[in-house]
Amino acid sequence: MSGPRRRVVLVDDHEMVRAGLKSMLSRFPDDVRVVGEAATAAEGFSVVTGLLPDVVLTDVRIGADSGLDLCRRLTAAQCVSRVLFLTVYDDEQYLFQALRAGAAGYLIKRVTGAELVAHVHAVCSGEVVVDPTLAGRIAVSAARMQAGEFWPGAHLGLTQRESEVLALMVAGLSNRAVAARLVVGEETVKSHVRGIYRKLGVGDRATAVGTALREGLYQ
């Protein structure tokens, strides 16, 4: 691959993930070099602003922290580093939030080493990269927004499934009842509920329901 060797900082709360990425990228010594790493958003901000790498590879969730918040903070600080999300969340709403936060790209953690290196160079050249698995869903979402057919709460960052879960919460269903209605596991519902709390900025079920009603999400 042509072009200068790009300096990369890794921000992920899992040491195994960071070690795996370092090993993967070490196979391309002429293209990329990992110059730093961090396990928390606060540590990541310090490392990135101190080293000013070309690219920051981070996850959407960094333990109890948010990679989206880290990206917003770096953007607000006018950091020159390009933020590239590398995550397991193949969720277009997280993608939209990442781009709004100033990210240069959003990839799913199944890219090959060669693909990741190519994406690193692409964002350094000013491109915005999006994982191909999300591209089709983005087109559908854009078409639905154009037609005014988006789901309640989309403007608050809720995914379509989170909106469905919240609607059933407003109707008074328990997590177990929601799981039965949607034919998913109760742990899956709990995960969606945590996402709803986070995106609405609330800490409990009653406040989430109150927020949904106050915002007029469901009639």
Per-residue pLDDT tens listing for the chain (219 residues): 557 899 999 999 999 999 999 999 999 999 999 999 999 999 999 999 999 999 999 999 898 888 999 999 999 999 999 999 999 988 777 887 888 889 999 999 999 999 999 999 999 999 989 888 876 666 666 565 555 557 788 878 888 889 889 988 888 889 999 988 888 889 999 999 999 999 999 999 888 988 888 888 876
Instruction: Give the pair of three-digit tokens for residue 137.
Output: 């869903």
Q: Are 153 and 201 in contact (CB under 8 A)?
A: no
CB 105 within 8 A of CB 85: yes
pTM listed for this prediction: 0.67
Superfamily covering domain 6-135: Response regulator (3.40.50.2300)
Question: What single DSSP character describes residue 81?
Answer: S
Rg (CA), the chain: 19
- Tens of pLDDT, residue by residue over 157-213, are 888 889 889 988 888 889 999 988 888 889 999 999 999 999 999 999 888 988 888
Q: List the one residue out of 74, 55, 63 whose CA is nearest residue 116.
A: 55
From the CB of residue 123, how many other CB atoms can be counted at a distance below 10 Å?
19
For residue 82, the model assigns a pLDDT of 95
Ranges of each domain in the chain: 6-135, 151-214
Q: Which residues pair with 36 in a beta bridge?
A: 9
Neighbours of 52 (CB within 10 A): 12
Query: What fold, for 151-214?
Result: Arc Repressor Mutant, subunit A (1.10.10)
Q: Cβ atoms within 10 A of the Cβ of 80, count?
A: 11
Contact 106, 130 (CB under 8 A): yes
> Strand locations in the chain, DSSP E?
6-11, 32-38, 55-58, 61-62, 65-66, 82-87, 105-108, 129-130
Query: Do residues 101 and 76 lie in contact, with contact meaning Cβ atoms separated by under 8 Å?
Result: no
Q: What sign has the CA pseudo-torsion 195, 107, 11, 101? A: negative
Give the C-alpha distances (Å, rounded to integers) separating 124 from 18, 65, 82, 179: 21, 26, 7, 43
Question: What is the structure's pLDDT at 34?
Answer: 97
